[in-house]
Amino acid sequence: METQTRTLRKETKITTERMTGAEAVIRCLLAENVDLIYGYPGGAIMPVYDELYKYQDQLHHVLTRHEQGATHAAQGYARTSGKVGVAIATSGPGATNFVTGIADAQIDSTPLVCITGQVGSHLLGSDAFQETDIIGISTPITKWNHQVTKAEDIPSVLAKAFYIARSGRPGPVLVDITKDAQFGELDFEYKKCKGVRSYKPVPETDPKSLNEASRLINNAKKPMIVFGQGVILGKAEEELKNFVEKSGIPAAWTILGLSALPTAHPLNVGMVGMHGNYGPNRLTNQCDLLIAIGMRFDDRVTGNLETYAKQANIIHFEIDPAEVNKNVKADVAVMGDVKHTLSQVLPLIEKDSYDSWVQEFRDHDAIEFEKVIKTELFPEKEGLSMGEVLKSINKETHGDAIIVSDVGQHQMIACRYAEFTTSKSNVTSGGLGTMGFALPAAIGAKMGAPNREVVAIIGDGGYQMTIQELGTIFQTKVPVKIVVLNNDFLGMVRQWQQLFFDKRYASTEMVNPDFIKIAEGYHIKSKRVTKREELQDAVNEMIKSTESYFLEVCVEKENNVFPMIPTGASVSDIRLE
């Protein structure tokens, strides 16, 4: 007997296709041009996995070894490809394992669509097996989330999810789909979402703000730019470069802004923030105009807000209205997409140069070189420094590689010393500071930019937080290069214990396994370097390898990262030792 709906369909000649909710999930992903997803199967998401099996020629699924790895891999993919990353998991523990990656994506504005299975809708609220309120849990860490309990809602909800994840200031979105919605049937029709009534992704730019900004820029004597990831997310690298070059204004970057302007650019003056460069931090408190472009004045950037750039006028180019005046009061806020606003302001500014002002940055660089960089890059001590490993990598990659870093001392060293010629090349967990980020993120980064070299720089602590993703590398044969800078310590915490807790090294010493044996267990080529004379050859061998490669470099155990702005101190009180 035919169901009424089927009879009705015949009569009305509807051209939509009848299918299950689970198949509709796959068809939605295909309609959004997704060809790669990261995930882990389980009970409540099995109908979708069953469809993945049927669609495996069109949609490649990467089986990570933990759901957290799936989110980080999706982040890495999104960061290097500029597309939306997709991660999928089951209900309960599968969904809760997503939490860290989602929180990381939220604070670093990474576009993700995370799909979780959920128990059948009749079981919701009954403490069923593997039931967890992932909507409630993920609410504060998602840009948007939604639970689907009916198959027919799947196309519209997923369309909205992709639209919200990628538009405006990007972010993670979670869609939770009950098992009965996956099994249920619907007439499939996919319409891309073009707008949401209550959501304005990009605020309008007030032409007055452009005039006011250009007036401040044209009258400044000691202006400086601080740019952030907004430039990369807004695909405004060219506009930034044009703005920097026409205005002649020295430009510093936040950790997430890194690589938006080549590190070798004559007006690139380095990193701001806690372990940033001496010049841009000190001169933040001497400039007369601070031009913030697509950055959010994070506390690790500003140090003590009471003493941050008080002497300067501040222009804030920003897409998110909630960021304006949140931490630092802007004299002029230029709202909008930086690609648009920077190109609008360009004709209004005069061509200029600030040679003696730029020289002040270079003078600071010289001091920093003497006190910090020289010993980091050209150490005379026997032990290897983290900096010289980065120097060796630069020599082999010529700044063309994507560097994925984890969290800690090695991350600061990587961001300070890695050279970049191309945008979207620095992938790191900035806002959340998620140890364990780099290894899975590197997998995604390589898949998002398969023609580029991807080198993950990881500490021995963070490496062991997601070390199981070596299994994913082995299984997918993704040729990522993994460098573990091993000091047998949780180095950054140890550094703080040394400087601020009277060297009471509470639980920071790591007794580590034989990392080479672990890599061998996964059939990944590997090498351990303990001596300076072996380093360059080993890095060369790693970069030349067409397969994945694990390089462990045993570095000096108790080195510290400098410069450093102690917590709560002013940017001008940055310490060199």
Return the number of the residue (153 or 453) whose C-beta is nearest other proteins.
153
CB of 135 to other proteins, least distance (A): 6
Answer for which of 4, 53, 127, 191 binds other proteins (CB under 8 A) is 191
Distance from C-alpha of 440 to C-alpha of 463, rounded to nearest angstrom? 10
Q: What is the dihedral of CA 141, 144, 150, 151, to 10 degrees?
A: -100
Binding mask 62-91 for other proteins (x = CB under 8 A): ------------------------------
**Are 323 and 254 a contacting pair, CB within 8 Å?**
no
* Options 108-116, 187-195, 393-401, 541-549: segment touching other proteins (CB under 8 A): 187-195
**Are 145 and 135 a contacting pair, CB within 8 Å?**
yes
Distance from C-alpha of 69 to C-alpha of 484, rounded to nearest angstrom? 18
Binding mask 318-337 for other proteins (x = CB under 8 A): --xxx-xxx-----------
Neighbours of 415 (CB within 10 A): 26
DSSP 13-70: T--SEEEEHHHHHHHHHHHTT--EEEE---GGGHHHHHHHHHTTTTSEEEE-SSHHHH
* Options 197-205, 222-230, 422-430, 530-538: segment touching other proteins (CB under 8 A): 197-205
527 as an active site residue: the answer is no
Answer for which of 129, 199, 500, 501 binds other proteins (CB under 8 A) is 199
492 as an active site residue: the answer is yes
Answer for which of 13, 194, 504, 517 binds other proteins (CB under 8 A) is 194
φ and ψ of 114, to 5 deg? -105, 125
* Options 15-23, 153-161, 500-508, 543-551: segment touching other proteins (CB under 8 A): 153-161
Return the number of the residue (194 or 351) whose C-beta is nearest other proteins.
194
446 as an active site residue: the answer is no
Answer for which of 65, 143, 316, 494 binds other proteins (CB under 8 A) is 143
- Element spanning 78, H or E: helix 67-81
Q: Which of 46, 130, 326, 556 is catalytic?
A: 130
CB of 178 to other proteins, least distance (A): 14
Q: Which of 129, 378, 500, 501 is catalytic?
A: 129
Half-sphere exposure of 497 (CA within 13 A, CB side): 15
Distance from C-alpha of 82 to C-alpha of 76, rounded to nearest angstrom? 10
Q: Which of 271, 274, 412, 492 is catalytic?
A: 492
φ and ψ of 148, to 5 deg? -105, 125
Written as one letter, the residue type at 536 is Q
* Options 142-150, 419-427, 516-524, 550-558: segment touching other proteins (CB under 8 A): 142-150
550 as an active site residue: the answer is no
Instruction: Tell me if 121 contacts other proteins by CB under 8 A.
Output: no
- Vertex 50 angle, CA 48 and 54, to 5°: 110
179 as an active site residue: the answer is yes
Least Cα distance to 556 among 533, 537, 531 occurs for 531
Distance from C-alpha of 387 to C-alpha of 53, rounded to nearest angstrom? 46
**Are 187 and 18 a contacting pair, CB within 8 Å?**
yes
**Greatest pairwise CA separation for the chain in angstroms:** 87
Instruction: Tell me if 125 contacts other proteins by CB under 8 A.
Output: no
Instruction: Tell me if 568 contacts other proteins by CB under 8 A.
Output: no
Return the number of the residue (325 or 536) whose C-beta is nearest other proteins.
325
Return the number of the residue (30 or 135) whose C-beta is nearest other proteins.
135
Answer for which of 157, 217, 272, 485 binds other proteins (CB under 8 A) is 157
Return the number of the residue (194 or 477) whose C-beta is nearest other proteins.
194
Active-site amino acid positions: 67, 129-130, 179, 492
Applying CB under 8 A, which residues contact other proteins? 135-136, 139-140, 143-147, 156-157, 159-160, 164, 191, 193-200, 320-322, 324-326
